[in-house]
C-alpha cells in the first residue's frame, strides 16, 4: 500500500481553531525571534560569524570521511568506544547490545533528535528497557505520547493546564495546578530518583570535534550532564554531520547556537566530553541514517549544515500558526520541510508546499542554509517525481496551456461582463471555496485594465495617427 502524504493543511486548521493555544504558540516563538534579534544587534560581527559558520560546515561536509576517521582515531585514544550505524535499525541494535552487555534496564536520556529519527524508545521498551527523558519538555511529550513539536522547545505547543493534566495522570498531582514552578518541582521530584538509580545514560551531541576526539553537549537544564555522568555508562548518539574540524571552530558555533535558538548568549551548560570518567564507559554511536545520501544531492546537501537551533521555526509565520505536530515528522518547520522528503518523498511531499516561501528562515539561519530556495527546488523535484496531488497537477497543466495563448486567456477573462466570476474559474478553479472560507472575495470591477487601455490609449493613439 502506498504511504499517504501528511495532511499539514488539515492539522494546521485544527491547531488554529484552538485560539488560546495558537495565540500563545505564535507569541512565545515570536518572542524567541525577537530575543534572537537583540543578540544579533549586540554582535556587530554577526554576519561574519554566519559566513564563517557556513564555510566551516561546508568544508567539513566536503571532507567528511577524513574528518570522521580523524575523530574516530582520536576518540579511541581518549578511551571512547566508537560505533558506526548506517541506519536507525543498526543504531538501535548497537544501543540495545551495549545496554544488554551491561545488564542495563533503565536508561535516562537527554533530548536527541537522532534517537527520535531512529524510533529508539519504540525499539528498546519492548525489550525491557525503561527509557526516561530528562529534558522537561521532552518528558512532557514522552508522557503524552507525542513527538517533540519543536527541536529546542519540544512542548511549546502546550499550555500550563495541559501539563498539569498530564502530570496528574502520571504523577498523581493536582490536575488544576496552574503554577509553572510547582509543576517543574513535581517533575524534579519524579525525575530525581529515576536519574539516581539509572543503569545507563544517553545524550546527543551538538558538535563533534575531529582534532580532539571529543564532543560537545549544550543544554539549559543540566539534564544531559546528569544523564551522562550519574550512571557509569554514557552512550552518545550523534549524526555524522555534527562534525567540525578544530576546537577553535567552537568559538564560532557556541556563540551562534543559543543566540539563534533562544536569544540567550550561551546555553546554561556547555559540556565538552573528552573521555570516560574513572570506572565508567563512554560510547559514541555515529549515525548516518540517510545523511550520506543527502550529501550526494546537489541541490539539497547544504541542509546538512544545520546545527538544530530552531531559529527557522521561531521565525516561520506558517510554523508558528500550525504547530510542529502538524508536519507529522520528526523534523518540523522550514528545516523539516527540506529534510523530511529525503526520508520519504511521498509521505512528506506536502511539506515543501506548507510554506509561503517568504525567505525569513534563510535569513535567520546561523549557517546560511538557503532554506526557502530548497523549498522551491523540492517543489520541482516532487512535481517531476509525480508526487503532486492530481488536481493541482492538472490545474497547473491547463493553466500553463492557457497562459501561452492570449486569445483563449482573454476569452476566459472576458467570457462574462464581471471579472470576478471568471477569475476564480480560470485561476483558482475548484479551489474557490477555500479562498472564501475565512476571507471575502475581491470586488468586481466595471472594466479590466486590458479593456481600459484599449479604450483610453489604443483608440487615442489611432486617432492621433489618423490626424497626422
Partner 1 sequence: MQRAEEARSLPGVRMKIGLFIPCYIDAFYPNAGIATLELLEKLGQDVEYPMNQTCCGQPMANSGCNKDAAPAEALFVKNFAKYDAIVMPSGSCTHHVRDNFDAIEQTDEVRHVRENTFELVEFLHDVLKVQDFPWAEFPHKVGLHNSCGTLRALRTASMSELGEPFFSKPMDLLNKVKGISFATPKRPDECCGFGGTFSVTEEAVSAKMGTDKVRDHHQAGAEYIVSADTSCMMHQQGCAERAGVPIRFIHIAEILNGARE
Q: Interface residues for partner 1 in 292-311 (CB under 8 A)?
A: none
Rounded Cα distance, 186 and 184, in Å = 5
Between 273 and 319, CB nearer to partner 1: 319
Options 51, 55, 113, 383; binder of partner 1; rule CB under 8 A: 383
3-class DSSP assignment, residue 135:
coil
Rounded Cα distance, 170 and 138, in Å = 15
Rounded Cα distance, 259 and 32, in Å = 9
Placement of cell 518528558 in the chain? 139
Options 189, 431, 455, 463; binder of partner 1; rule CB under 8 A: 431
Between 86 and 418, CB nearer to partner 1: 418
Q: Helices (DSSP H) in 106-179: which residue ranges?
A: 113-118, 120-124, 136-143, 160-171
Rounded Cα distance, 265 and 254, in Å = 9
* Interface segment toward partner 1; rule CB under 8 A; list 138-146, 162-170, 192-200, 438-446: 438-446
Rounded Cα distance, 141 and 135, in Å = 10
Site mask for partner 1 (CB under 8 A), range 402-421, x = bound: xxxxx--x---x-----xx-
Closest CA to 198 of 218, 223, 173, 172: 223
Interacting residues of 313 by C-beta distance below 8 A, sequence separation 6+: 29, 150, 151, 319, 324, 332, 333, 334, 335
Residues of this chain, 309-338, that bind partner 1 according to CB under 8 A: 315, 317-318, 321-322
Between 185 and 435, CB nearer to partner 1: 435
Between 169 and 410, CB nearer to partner 1: 410
Site mask for partner 1 (CB under 8 A), range 275-294, x = bound: --------------------
Considering the complex, what minimum distance in angstroms separates the CB of residue 342 from partner 1?
16
Closest CA to 165 of 178, 181, 148: 178
* Interface segment toward partner 1; rule CB under 8 A; list 10-18, 53-61, 225-233, 262-270: 10-18
Residues of this chain, 359-378, that bind partner 1 according to CB under 8 A: 359-360, 362-364, 376, 378
Between 343 and 409, CB nearer to partner 1: 409
Q: Are strands 130-133 and 81-85 parallel, antiparallel or unpaired?
A: unpaired
Considering the complex, what minimum distance in angstroms separates the CB of residue 298 from partner 1?
16
Considering the complex, what minimum distance in angstroms separates the CB of residue 466 from partner 1?
19
Cell of 91: 543504531
Rounded Cα distance, 243 and 207, in Å = 6
Considering the complex, what minimum distance in angstroms separates the CB of residue 427 from partner 1?
7
* Interface segment toward partner 1; rule CB under 8 A; list 84-92, 206-214, 265-273, 440-448: 440-448
Options 6, 40, 104, 351; binder of partner 1; rule CB under 8 A: 40
Between 245 and 317, CB nearer to partner 1: 317
Between 74 and 360, CB nearer to partner 1: 360
Q: What are phi and psi of 209, to 5 degrees?
A: -105, 115
Site mask for partner 1 (CB under 8 A), range 20-39, x = bound: --x---x---x------x--
Rounded Cα distance, 398 and 433, in Å = 19
Between 62 and 458, CB nearer to partner 1: 458
Considering the complex, what minimum distance in angstroms separates the CB of residue 329 from partner 1?
16
* Interface segment toward partner 1; rule CB under 8 A; list 206-214, 227-235, 328-336, 425-433: 425-433
Options 127, 251, 265, 397; binder of partner 1; rule CB under 8 A: 397
Going from the C-alpha of 175 to that of each of 163, 276, 462, the distances in angstroms are 9, 42, 80
Residues of this chain, 80-139, that bind partner 1 according to CB under 8 A: none
Contact 256, 56 (CB under 8 A): no
Considering the complex, what minimum distance in angstroms separates the CB of residue 1 from partner 1?
25
Contact 134, 196 (CB under 8 A): no
Between 193 and 400, CB nearer to partner 1: 400
Options 298, 443, 464, 466; binder of partner 1; rule CB under 8 A: 443
* Interface segment toward partner 1; rule CB under 8 A; list 163-171, 253-261, 295-303, 356-364: 356-364
18 binds partner 1 (CB under 8 A): no
Placement of cell 556587530 in the chain? 44
Between 77 and 457, CB nearer to partner 1: 457
Tell me how far apart the terminal alpha carbons of the chain are, to the nearest angstrom.
74
Contact 243, 71 (CB under 8 A): yes
Q: Helices (DSSP H) in 179-290: which residue ranges?
A: 180-197, 223-229, 250-261
Q: What is the CA radius of gyration of the chain?
A: 27
Amino acid at each position: 500500500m502506498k504511504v499517504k502524504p501528511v495532511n499539514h493543511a488539515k492539522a494546521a486548521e485544527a491547531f488554529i481553531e484552538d485560539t488560546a493555544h495558537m495565540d500563545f504558540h505564535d507569541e512565545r516563538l515570536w518572542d524567541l525571534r525577537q530575543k534572537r534579534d537583540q543578540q544579533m544587534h549586540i554582535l556587530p560581527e554577526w554576519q561574519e560569524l554566519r559566513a564563517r559558520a557556513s564555510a566551516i560546515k561546508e568544508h567539513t561536509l566536503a571532507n567528511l570521511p577524513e574528518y570522521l576517521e580523524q575523530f574516530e582515531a582520536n576518540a579511541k585514544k581518549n578511551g571512547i568506544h566508537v560505533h558506526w550505524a548506517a541506519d536507525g535499525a543498526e543504531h538501535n541494535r548497537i544501543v540495545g547490545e551495549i545496554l544488554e552487555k551491561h545488564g542495563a534496564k533503565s536508561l535516562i536520556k537527554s533530548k536527541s533528535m537522532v534517537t527520535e529519527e531512529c524510533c529508539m524508545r519504540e525499539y528498546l521498551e519492548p525489550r525491557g528497557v525503561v527509557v526516561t527523558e530528562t529534558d522537561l519538555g521532552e518528558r512532557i511529550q514522552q508522557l503524552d505520547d507525542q513527538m517533540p513539536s519543536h527541536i529546542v522547545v519540544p512542548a511549546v505547543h502546550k499550555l500550563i493546564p495541559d501539563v498539569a493534566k498530564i502530570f496528574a495522570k502520571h504523577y498523581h498531582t493536582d490536575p488544576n495546578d496552574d503554577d509553572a514552578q510547582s509543576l517543574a518541582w513535581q517533575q524534579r521530584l519524579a525525575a530525581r530518583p529515576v536519574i539516581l538509580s539509572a543503569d545507563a545514560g544517553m545524550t546527543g551531541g551538538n558538535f563533534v570535534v575531529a582534532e580532539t576526539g571529543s564532543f560537545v553537549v549544550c543544554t539549559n537544564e543540566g539534564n544531559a550532564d546528569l544523564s551522562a555522568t550519574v550512571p557509569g555508562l554514557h552512550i552518545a548518539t550523534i549524526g555524522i554531520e555534527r562534525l567540525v574540524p578544530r576546537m577553535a571552530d567552537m568559538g564560532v558555533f557556541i556563540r551562534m547556537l543559543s543566540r539563534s535558538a533562544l536569544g540567550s548568549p550561551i546555553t546554561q551548560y556547555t559540556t565538552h566530553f573528552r573521555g570516560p570518567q574513572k570506572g565508567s564507559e563512554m560510547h559514541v554511536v555515529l549515525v548516518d541514517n540517510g545523511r550520506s545520501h543527502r550529501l550526494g544531492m546537489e541541490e539539497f546537501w547544504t541542509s546538512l549544515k544545520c546545527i538544530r537551533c530552531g531559529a527557522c521555526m521561531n521565525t516561520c509565520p506558517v510554523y508558528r500558526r500550525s504547530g510542529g505536530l502538524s508536519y507529522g515528522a520528526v523534523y518540523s518547520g522550514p528545516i523539516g520541510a527540506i529534510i523530511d522528503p529525503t526520508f520519504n518523498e511521498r509521505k512528506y511531499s506536502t511539506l515543501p508546499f506548507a510554506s509561503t516561501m517568504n525567505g525569513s528562515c534563510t535569513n535567520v539561519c546561523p549557517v546560511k542554509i538557503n532554506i526557502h530556495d530548497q523549498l522551491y527546488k523540492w517543489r520541482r523535484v516532487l512535481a517531476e517525481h509525480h508526487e503532486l496531488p492530481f488536481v493541482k497537477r492538472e490545474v497547473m497543466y491547463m493553466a500553463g496551456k492557457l497562459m501561452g495563448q492570449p486569445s483563449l486567456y482573454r476569452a476566459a477573462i472576458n467570457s462574462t461582463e464581471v471579472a470576478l466570476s471568471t477569475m476564480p474559474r480560470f485561476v483558482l478553479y475548484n479551489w474557490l471555496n477555500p479562498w472564501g472560507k475565512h476571507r471575502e472575495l475581491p470586488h468586481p470591477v466595471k472594466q479590466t485594465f486590458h479593456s481600459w487601455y484599449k479604450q483610453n490609449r489604443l483608440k487615442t493613439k489611432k486617432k492621433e495617427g489618423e490626424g497626422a
